């Protein structure tokens, strides 16, 4: 697991010379379904290159496994062995130390309990929306980090975790800032465990307020100031909860 840094981290966007190549691997989805997501995915001004071609000549920088848990294991989760493909893929990724996470459509109750890595719940939102939240909260901060510093998606990929996503909007700056604080309070007080990380991507005025959040949680916050203009009244969150995992078995 990655080390918990005892400080508040705030990332600012810096130009990225080479686009990061992100491969969407399919588990329970057709190639057409995965390819249909591409036009709706945020390229972060050309810094991200999304694709579904698994036989590309160049190795991707990031792999996101798209997992349809219900389609793989059945509506009632009675065929969890059908979901072993992505579970094994995530175990191998951990052994290779590559940057890979899984985005799950449906309930994790349909997946085997014995799994490693970072598993993100899409919830009731579309896959494209979920991928864009991940791009802004976990991938964009990684692009501007100092070389060798594990942040964002790199940090998630090294962690056994179950993540939930949230996107909030406000009628004005104050309303959005208030709603952001409510989300943080709920994540800390109403979940099955204290979050290991809370990744927040928002405009500067929201980030400034979040920095005042309770001192005992500051070291767990990863704040990213998005440079999207004063009219952007949205904030996006990836809340990272710990997930127990058994030791890796040899292959």
Q: What is the band of 216 on the pLDDT scale with cuts at 50, 70, 90?
A: low
Distance in angstroms between the alpha carbons of the first and the last residue of the chain: 20
Cβ count near 123 (within 10 Å): 14
What's the chain's Rg over C-alpha atoms? 18
Could you give the C-alpha distances from 52 to 1, 35, 104, 140, 214, in angstroms and in order? 28, 6, 17, 20, 41
Instruction: Please give the helix or strand (H or E) that residue 88 lies within, else none.
Output: helix 84-96
pLDDT of the residue at 188: 81
**Residues near 146 by beta carbon (within 8 Å), at least 6 away in sequence:** none
DSSP output for 159-198: S-EEEEEEEEE-SSHHHHHHHHHHHHHHHHHSSSS--SEE
Contacts of 220 by beta carbon, 8 Å cutoff, 6+ apart: 4, 194, 195, 196, 197, 198
Confidence of residue 3 (pLDDT cuts 50, 70, 90): very low
| 3 state DSSP class of 58 | coil
CA angle 165, 52, 234 (to 5 degrees): 30
Phi, psi angles (nearest 5°) of residue 200: -125, 130
Q: Which of 20-24, 36-40, 221-225 has the lowest mean pLDDT?
A: 221-225
Indicate whether 150 pLDDT > 90: no
pLDDT, tens digit, for every residue of 226-236?
A: 877 667 789 99
**Winning range, highest mean pLDDT, from 80-89, 94-103, 139-148, 239-248:** 94-103
Q: State residue 17's pLDDT score.
A: 55
Q: What pLDDT, in 10s, does the model give residues 61-117? A: 999 999 999 999 887 778 888 889 999 999 999 999 999 999 999 888 888 888 999
Q: Residue ranges of the domains in the chain?
A: 9-242
- Distance, CA of 88 to CA of 83 (rounded, Å): 9
Q: How many CB atoms lie within 10 A of CB 146?
A: 8
- What are the φ/ψ torsions at residue 168 (nearest 5 degrees)? -120, 150
Q: Rounded to two decimals, what is the model's pTM?
A: 0.85
């Amino acid at each position: 697991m990655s080390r918990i840094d005892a400080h508040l981290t705030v990332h600012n966007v810096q130009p990225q010379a080479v686009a990061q190549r992100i491969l969407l691997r399919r588990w329970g989805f057709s190639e057409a379904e995965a390819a249909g997501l591409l036009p709706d995915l945020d390229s972060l001004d050309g810094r991200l290159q999304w694709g579904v071609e698994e036989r590309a000549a160049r190795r991707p920088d990031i792999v996101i496994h798209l997992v349809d848990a219900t389609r793989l294991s059945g509506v009632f989760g009675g065929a969890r062995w059908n979901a072993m493909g992505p579970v094994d893929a995530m175990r191998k990724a951990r052994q290779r130390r590559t940057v890979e996470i899984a985005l799950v459509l449906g309930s994790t109750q349909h997946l085997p309990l014995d799994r490693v890595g970072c598993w993100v719940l899409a919830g009731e939102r579309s896959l494209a929306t979920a991928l864009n939240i991940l791009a802004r909260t976990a991938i964009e901060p990684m692009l501007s980090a100092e070389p060798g510093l594990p942040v964002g998606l790199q940090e998630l990929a090294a962690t056994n975790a179950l993540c939930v996503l949230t996107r909030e909007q406000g009628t004005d700056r104050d309303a959005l800032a208030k709603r952001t604080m409510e989300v943080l309070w709920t994540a800390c007080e109403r979940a099955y465990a204290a979050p290991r990380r809370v990744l927040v991507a928002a405009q500067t005025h929201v980030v400034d307020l979040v920095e005042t959040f309770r001192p005992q949680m500051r070291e767990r916050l990863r704040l990213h100031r998005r440079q999207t203009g004063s009219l952007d009244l949205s904030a996006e969150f990836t809340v990272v909860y710990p997930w127990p995992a058994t030791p890796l078995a040899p292959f």
